[in-house]
Amino acid sequence: MAALKVGLTGGIGSGKSEVARLLAGHGAIVIDADKIAREVVEPGTPGLERVVAEFGPEVLREDGTLNRERLGSIVFADKERLAALNAIVHPLVGERVASLQRAAPQDAIVVYDVPLLAENNLAPMYDVVVVVDAADEIRLDRLTRLRGMAEADAKARIAAQASREDRLKIADIVVVNEGTLEELRARADEVWRELTARAGQTGQSGSSTGTRRTSGR
């Protein structure tokens, strides 16, 4: 039986990262693409060497770590420079993800934490898609009150991502996160039971396309 591949997504401020932590606590193997993207350009890595060769030493801080803000100001203003960065980082991330996949036990539940799953039309890659959902006004409050973001910046970040409707269209399982942490933990427990039930079904090596359903709303 192949590992169950779970795509986990949600808009900024939805609580997706907390759900990933809760599922990891149950035993899921969580693969965080954003975290890996940071790891492959840490000091001493070939990835960082390639970035410096491409963009120059000015993208480094004094301590030798990558100055992400400075690099961002370069690449997000120039599509060609962004493509050059992606050509360095994406293959390294892909190699690391593939390595983690090979290391996962055959009966594992592997959760891929993918912020832009809906935006990049990646749902068909997974057996199950879990969407963490919260109203835009709740997410805005979290971003401004808890993360200290300016309201205009928070609204821009929300607007730049897929709409709630677009994310919900691709969901097999919806985790509504508009209440307390205790309520979220209880919902994560329910989701884990559903994932383990799906993992125990036969034929999990294929996609669940055509059997999608939305639950927990």
Q: Which of 53, 85, 106 is the last residue of a domain?
A: 106
pLDDT band at 97 (very low <50, low <70, confident <90, very high): confident
User: What are the tens digits of pLDDT across the range 156-202?
Assistant: 889 888 999 999 999 999 999 999 999 999 999 999 999 999 998 74
Burial of residue 130 (number of CB atoms within 10 Å: 0-12, 13-18, 19+): buried
Q: Which of 91, 106, 121 is the last residue of a domain?
A: 106
Same domain, 63 and 151: no
Same domain, 168 and 114: yes
Residue spans of beta strands (DSSP E) within 26-120: 29-32, 109-113
Whether pLDDT at 216 is above 50 = no
> Could you tell me how many helices (H) and strands (E) the chain has, helices first?
9, 5
Residue spans of beta strands (DSSP E) within 53-207: 109-113, 128-133, 173-176
Higher pLDDT, 211 or 72: 72
Q: Is the dihedral of CA 62, 66, 68, 73 positive or negative?
A: positive
User: What are the tens digits of pLDDT across the range 126-137?
Assistant: 999 999 999 999
Unique residue bearing structure tokens 């309520």: 183
Average pLDDT over residues 87-96: 92
Domain span including residue 163: 1-28+108-217
Q: Which of 148, 174, 173, 143 is nearest to 160 (CA)?
A: 143
Domain count, the chain: 2
pLDDT band at 1 (very low <50, low <70, confident <90, very high): low
Same domain, 202 and 123: yes
b (16+ CB within 10 A) / e for 43-72? eeeebbebbbeebeeebbeeeeebeeeebe
Burial of residue 74 (number of CB atoms within 10 Å: 0-12, 13-18, 19+): middle
Whether pLDDT at 203 is above 70 = no
User: What are the tens digits of pLDDT across the range 29-86?
Assistant: 999 988 999 999 999 999 999 999 999 999 999 999 999 989 988 887 788 998 999 8
Same domain, 175 and 217: yes
Same domain, 19 and 42: no
Whether pLDDT at 109 is above 90 = yes
pLDDT of residue 200: 84
Average pLDDT over residues 106-111: 92
Q: How far apart are CA 185 and CA 42, in angstroms?
A: 33
Residue spans of beta strands (DSSP E) within the chain: 4-10, 29-32, 109-113, 128-133, 173-176
Same domain, 135 and 201: yes
Unique residue bearing structure tokens 């983690």: 100
